[in-house]
Structure 1
Amino acid sequence: MTPGRERGLTALLCAAGSGLALLAAGRTWATVHAGDSITPVAHQLSGRDLGGAPGACALAGLAALAALFATSGRVRAAIGALTAAFGAGVVYASTAAVRDSRVLDAAGERSTLVSLDAHPAIDVNLWWMVSVTGGVVLAVGGLLTLVRGARWPGMSSRYDRASGRRAPAPAAAKAAAATGDAGATGDAGEEAGADASALWKSLDRGEDPTARRSGRP
Structure 2
Amino acid sequence: MKAGRALWTWVAACAAGAGLVLLAAGRDWVTVTYGARAVPVSAAELAPALGPAAWAALAAVVAVLATRGLWRRIVGVAMALCGAGVIAAAVSGGRPDAGLAIAAEHAPMAAKATDVVQIAAPLVWPVLAGAGGLLLLAGGVVAALRGGRWPGMSERYDRQGPGREGAARASAGGAQTDRELWDAIDLGADPTADPEGEIPAAPRENREKGGGGR
Bin the TM-score by the shorter chain.
0.7 to 0.9
Measure, in 2, the Cα distance between the counterparts of 1:155 and 1:192. 55
1:23-42 to 2 correspondence within 5 Å?
Answer: 23-35=23-35, 40-42=36-38
Residues 1:191 and 2:187 are matched in the alignment: no
Measure, in 1, the Cα distance between the counterparts of 2:10 and 2:129. 19
Structure-2 change in CA distance of 1:114 and 1:177 (3 Å): same
The answer to whether the 8 Å contact 2:30/2:96 transfers is no
Q: Which amino acid aligns with 1:191?
A: K
Provide Cα deviations, 1:166-211, integer angstroms capped at 9, x if missing partner: 9625532432422542572995884255469xxxxxxxxxxxxxxx
Q: Which amino acid aligns with 2:209?
A: E
The answer to whether the 8 Å contact 1:87/1:136 transfers is yes
1:5-16 to 2 correspondence within 5 Å?
Answer: 5-16=5-16
Q: Percent identity?
A: 38
The aligned counterpart of 1:66 is: 62
Structure 1: unaligned runs, 5 residues or longer: 197-217
Give the CA deviation at 1:150.
Answer: 0.6
SS at structure 2 position matched to 1:155: coil
Structure 2: unaligned runs, 5 residues or longer: 188-205
* CA RMSD, Structure 1 to Structure 2 (Å): 2.6
Measure, in 1, the Cα distance between the counterparts of 2:172 and 2:213. 32
Larger radius of gyration: 1
Measure, in 2, the Cα distance between the counterparts of 1:160 and 1:50. 48
Measure, in 1, the Cα distance between the counterparts of 2:213 and 2:57. 82
Structure-2 change in CA distance of 1:61 and 1:189 (3 Å): same
Measure, in 2, the Cα distance between the counterparts of 1:191 and 1:102. 102
TM-score (normalizing by structure 1): 0.78
The answer to whether the 8 Å contact 1:107/1:114 transfers is no
- Pick the structure with more helix per residue: 1
Residues 1:86 and 2:104 are matched in the alignment: no
TM-score (normalizing by structure 2): 0.79
Q: Which amino acid aligns with 2:81?
A: A
Measure, in 2, the Cα distance between the counterparts of 1:32 and 1:87. 29
Structure-2 change in CA distance of 1:193 and 1:18 (3 Å): closer
1:168-207 to 2 correspondence within 5 Å?
Answer: 168-169=166-167, 171-181=169-179, 184=183, 190-192=208-210, 194=212
